[in-house]
Amino acid sequence: MSGRGRLSSLDLLPDEAQDDIIWACQELSKRRRTQEDIRFELNDRLEARGLEGVSKSAFNRKATRLAAIQRRMQDAREIFQGLTPQLTPEKVDENTIALGEMIKTLIQELMDDDHDTKQTMELARAFQATVQAQKISSDRRRKLEDEMTARASKAVDTVAKAKGLSAETAEQIKAQILGIATERRP
């Protein structure tokens, strides 16, 4: 593994410049102005604070890294948009398998790119947290569905009673409209 490399003029700015650096990164992300325009304004802001400006090469490296990150994020967004219709609570087990395969592929790519085991372990923990979140989401959905079914069943019973319908008719309504299979009462 390689070290962090030499610190650039951007890396050496004090904490008081962080708001301006964030501003510059946001401007780069918008892709409405030229990189040199943004760097020029950033340097004006820094000079107003009594700080030294950022070199063209340091700002270019930062802009290049940001652009690469944005491309990866856009690629991931497009992949997940394609998968979203398949990632439903009803298919939690299938989702877990698919997500597991995606993460295993990512782990393999990280290992190929000479990343350390700590990063791989963090990715495994992220996978575990994702699986747990899916389970919680599924359990919550199931609980909400059960509550809704109970309220709907009670409403059908109330209306049936008010309209003078038999208990058998109410049960048929529940079965047909609500999909509720209830036990017959003696």
Q: Which residues have a Cβ under 8 Å from the Cβ of 131 and sit 6 or more positions away?
A: 96, 99, 100
**pLDDT (tens digit per residue) in 46-93:** 999 999 999 999 999 889 988 888 887 777 777 766 666 665 656 656
When comparing pLDDT for 126 and 15, which is higher? 15
Query: Please, how many CA atoms are within 13 Å of residue 8, restricted to the half-sphere of its CB?
Result: 12
Q: Which residues have a Cβ under 8 Å from the Cβ of 27 and sit 6 or more positions away?
A: 33, 38, 41
The model carries a pTM of 0.45
CA angle 125, 129, 133 (to 5 degrees): 170
> What pLDDT is recorded for position 80?
66
**pLDDT (tens digit per residue) in 118-137:** 766 776 777 777 667 666 76
Angle subtended by helix axes 117-163 and 92-112, to nearest 10: 170
> What pLDDT is recorded for position 186?
44
> What pLDDT is recorded for position 185?
42
Cβ contact 46:52 at 8 Å = yes
Confidence label for 172 from pLDDT (cuts 50, 70 and 90): confident
